[in-house]
A and B are shown apart, each in its own frame.
Chain A
Amino acid sequence: MTEVSITVNGTTYTQEVEPRLLLVHFIRDVLGLTGTNIGCDTSQCGACTIHLDGLAVKSCTVLAVQADGCEITTIEGLATNGQLHPMQQSFWDNHGLQCGYCTPGMIMAAVKLVENNPGLTEAEIRHGLEGNLCRCTGYDNIVRAVQAVAGGG
């Protein structure tokens, strides 16, 4: 067992973990933050996307020990003071979800995509979200939701 200290949504957690424990299992099973979903176990679907020191990463592809000393934001920590993040609001307004399973990962990926790329075009949004799969086939509305926040067209 190895001790890690990881800050998640502003709270620092110090825990003993198995060196092989995946970060997504640390978030879901150790901390009980089940908003981060697991869709594929193979880094293809992006449902488990979180922010790790400011980068959007798939948390099924990171070990908890690699996140030692890092700051993490999950979908539960995106709203501030009861106020939805503009990306959350836009997914709601644009019907960018059906079953909601891919939604946390989509939103977390989209937030960083827009932050890091001003003036995104629709094609760039589609390319930027290639690593996130939606099985309800809701891509059009997801892209519209992201476009509304990006402000581009």
Chain B
Amino acid sequence: MGYIGESIRRVEDPRFIQGQGKYVANLELPGLSHLAIKRSPHSHARINSINVEAAKELDGVIAVFTGRDLADGIHESGACGALPCGFRPPGIKVPAYHPLAVDKVCHAGEGVVVVVAESAYIAHDALDLIDIDYEPLPAVVDAKATTQESAPRIHDDIPNNISYTWVLGDKEVADKAFAEADHVVGSI
């Protein structure tokens, strides 16, 4: 069998077309637990209080953690700090980004509480037993309006919600090229 100019059938396909593919969700490990995340329904809100007592008492629930629990290190493995940012252009301002919201949520869908349970159904049941008192704050939903002085500030330590300004290219060289061009199409 030649390979040049031939359409080669993939060797891995037979298992996928017969339902024998192995995906993470198919793994059944000894002692496997399930996790569910309670997420913020608000775009921007202060978390006044979180009550997880009823969730913790539900049969089959193994553990419940809030963002504060992780940040303060209530677990024997210690405190879980903010997640580092891998992209660091000059002058970037990086807010502390925690695995779960601490004291305040900054976007709808942000994780607030996690439940670990013996089954996925129990973990999701427990989410319904968690009581969170939110104080909604003004949200920003428009990228340009967000950077105005009057816009609500999402992170207290970052004025105008601007993380960084990234400038590319050489303005002088570009201006000269346009000035000397035979034709300029459109406007800048």
Contacts and interface: CB of A to CB of B under 8 A. Distances in A.
Contact of A18 (B20, B23, B121): B121
Given A91-B13, A92-B9, A100 B21 contact: yes
A48 B22 CA distance: 15
Given A92-B9, A93-B9, A95-B10, A100 B18 contact: no
Contact of B19 (A18, A33, A95): A33
Contact of B13 (A28, A97, A101): A97
Interface stretch (A61-69, A74-82, A113-121, A123-131): A74-82
B18 A101 contact: no
Interface residues of A, number: 28
B54 to A, nearest CB: 20
Contacts of A95: 7, 9-10
Contacts of B9: 92-93, 95
Interface string B8-34: 011011111111110101100000000
B18 A79 contact: yes
A122 to B, nearest CB: 20
Contact of B17 (A18, A36, A37, A107): A107
Interface in A27-67: 28, 33-38
A71 B14 CA distance: 25
A37 B25 contact: yes
A84 B16 CA distance: 12
A35 B121 CA distance: 21
Contacts of B7: 95
A76 B18 contact: yes
Contacts of A76: 18-20
B23 A103 contact: no
A56 B14 CA distance: 22
A84 B17 contact: yes
Given A93-B9, A95-B10, A103 B16 contact: yes
Contacts of A132: none
B121 A100 contact: no
A33 B14 CA distance: 16
B121 A91 contact: no
A118 B14 CA distance: 27
Contact of A74 (B10, B12, B17, B19): B19
A36 B9 CA distance: 23
A107 B19 CA distance: 10
Interface of B: 7, 9-10, 12-21, 23, 25-26, 121
7 contacts: A35-B20, A75-B17, A84-B18, A92-B9, A92-B10, A92-B17, A95-B7
The 3 lowest CB-CB distance pairs between A and B, nearest first, are: A35-B19, A100-B16, A75-B19
Interface of A: 18, 20-21, 28, 33-38, 74-76, 78-79, 84, 88, 91-93, 95, 97, 99-101, 103-104, 107
Given A75-B17, A91-B17, A100-B21, 10 more contacts: A34-B25, A34-B26, A35-B19, A38-B25, A84-B14, A88-B18, A95-B7, A97-B16, A100-B12, A100-B13
